[in-house]
């Protein structure tokens, strides 16, 4: 009998990345929408464990691609989805989620203490209390977010073999911590390189709130971020991340989003430094969402984030507070947050 290669749904068809050789020792793992992988795994597990029933509503607070991934899956599986967000949400993204049947609830006032983050959590609580049988995927703390990346590690090892470096953006920590924990079972010496945004609290920078380079970095500390997985951490400015996104397109015709550009900036630097090493970068989403922003010179100039070419090398720092205003990095050396910062993270 002929084996069918027809996928059951679009989510199934595009959930894994395409592996693309970007010259020499650098390979890009380019996703259509990386967040489909954890969103799908989280919903499947919740179903198996009886925490998600056919009539349950799903409630999540997000303004990014995790919301879009949930919207796609809930459309396909007929779940009612509430996404709670704030005015920073990208309007075309909100419209797209609404077209998929998602109820997008935008809080318009920040809470007096805790700002929009608090206001979003308060709104979530109201919805959750109204639907006691709800399911909250909670990408920042759900262990099934990192656990979802086993098929990526499998795809990489089956098609590449030995991998020496894994480089990628960090937001919830799920993709980098998940993929590298599986890869290190085979390659204990794998070097894991995290890419963060300047002004994000993830690796000890003072919080800058509204950062222009988004999708990576965070103002909250996610439980799913395991700091001791990382050998080096890089902080990239918005202008450098955007310039590298454009360079990835000009040089390799790969039309990706800004977190992919930030990973590429760092990836090509390691590839040139270690020509014998096998280097893989995670490239999380496509560029179409950013056509009128990062791919528009006028918008970049208006935002003060235009740069013709990205910086060629980062500055090595001893402590996260020394990083910036340009691309900087630290030898994190698989330490815990407390070991680097001298104490635990405080909100």
Ligand X SMILES: Cc1ncc(COP(=O)(O)O)c(C=O)c1O
- Residues near ligand X (CB under 6 A) are 35, 64-66, 169-176, 215-216, 257, 259, 284-285
Alpha carbon distances (Å) from 297 to 135, 237, 291: 42, 17, 10
In angstroms, the CA 233 to CA 333 distance is 9
CB nearer to ligand X: pick between 131 and 184: 184
Q: How far is the CB of 91 from ligand X (least distance, A)?
A: 17
CB nearer to ligand X: pick between 50 and 240: 240
Which residues lie closer than 8 Å to 64 by C-beta, 6 or more apart?
Answer: 35, 171, 214, 215
CB nearer to ligand X: pick between 62 and 75: 62
Q: How far is the CB of 246 from ligand X (least distance, A)?
A: 16
Q: How far is the CB of 283 from ligand X (least distance, A)?
A: 9
CB nearer to ligand X: pick between 198 and 313: 198
DSSP state of 85: E
Q: Residue 206 class from Cβ within 10 Å (0-12 exposed, 13-18 middle, 19+ buried)? A: exposed
* Displacement of CA 245 from its chain's centroid (Å): 15
CB nearer to ligand X: pick between 173 and 310: 173
In angstroms, the CA 82 to CA 128 distance is 10
What strand order describes the sheet that includes 315-317? Answer: 18-21, 26-30, 279-283, 165-169, 191-197, 232-236, 328-331, 315-317
Beta bridge mates, 135: 58
Look up tokens 């630097």; give the residue: 269
Q: How far is the CB of 213 from ligand X (least distance, A)?
A: 10
CB nearer to ligand X: pick between 175 and 268: 175
Q: How far is the CB of 147 from ligand X (least distance, A)?
A: 12
Q: How far is the CB of 318 from ligand X (least distance, A)?
A: 25
CB nearer to ligand X: pick between 225 and 271: 225
CB nearer to ligand X: pick between 284 and 314: 284
Please say whether the beta carbons of 283 and 29 come within 8 A.
yes
CB nearest ligand X: which residue?
A: 171
Q: How far is the CB of 133 from ligand X (least distance, A)?
A: 27
Please say whether the beta carbons of 203 and 332 come within 8 A.
yes
Q: How far is the CB of 209 from ligand X (least distance, A)?
A: 17
Please say whether the beta carbons of 165 and 183 come within 8 A.
no
């Amino acid at each position: 009998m002929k084996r069918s290669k027809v996928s059951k749904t679009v989510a199934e068809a595009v959930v894994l990345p395409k592996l693309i050789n970007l010259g020499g020792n650098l390979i890009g793992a380019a996703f259509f929408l990386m967040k489909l992988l954890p969103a799908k795994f989280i919903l499947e597990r919740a179903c198996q464990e009886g925490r998600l029933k056919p009539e349950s509503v799903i409630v999540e607070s997000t303004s990014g691609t995790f919301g879009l991934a949930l919207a796609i899956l809930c459309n396909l599986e007929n779940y009612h989805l509430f996404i709670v967000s704030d005015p920073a949400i990208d309007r075309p993204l909100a419209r797209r989620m609404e077209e998929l049947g998602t109820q997008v609830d935008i809080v318009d006032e920040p809470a007096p203490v805790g700002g929009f983050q608090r206001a979003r959590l308060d709104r979530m609580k109201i919805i959750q209390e109204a639907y006691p049988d709800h399911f909250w995927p909670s990408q920042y703390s759900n262990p099934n977010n990192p656990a979802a990346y086993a098929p990526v590690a499998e795809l990489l090892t089956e098609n590449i073999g030995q991998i020496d470096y894994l480089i990628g953006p960090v937001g919830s920590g799920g993709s980098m911590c998940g993929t590298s924990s599986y890869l290190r079972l085979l390659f204990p010496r794998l070097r894991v390189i995290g890419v963060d945004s300047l002004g994000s609290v993830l690796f000890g920078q003072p919080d800058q709130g509204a950062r222009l380079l988004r999708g990576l970095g965070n103002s909250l500390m996610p439980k799913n971020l395991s700091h001791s997985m990382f050998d080096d951490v890089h902080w990239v400015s918005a202008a450098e991340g955007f310039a590298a996104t454009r360079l990835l397109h000009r040089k390799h015709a790969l039309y990706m989003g800004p977190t992919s550009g930030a990973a590429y900036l760092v990836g090509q630097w390691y590839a040139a430094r270690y020509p014998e090493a096998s280097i893989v970068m995670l490239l999380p989403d496509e560029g179409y969402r950013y056509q009128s922003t990062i791919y528009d010179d006028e918008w970049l100039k208006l935002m003060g984030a235009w740069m013709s070419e990205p910086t060629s090398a980062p500055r090595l720092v001893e402590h996260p507070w020394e990083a910036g205003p340009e691309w900087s990095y630290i030898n994190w050396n698989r330490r815990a947050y407390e070991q680097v910062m001298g104490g635990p993270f405080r909100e």
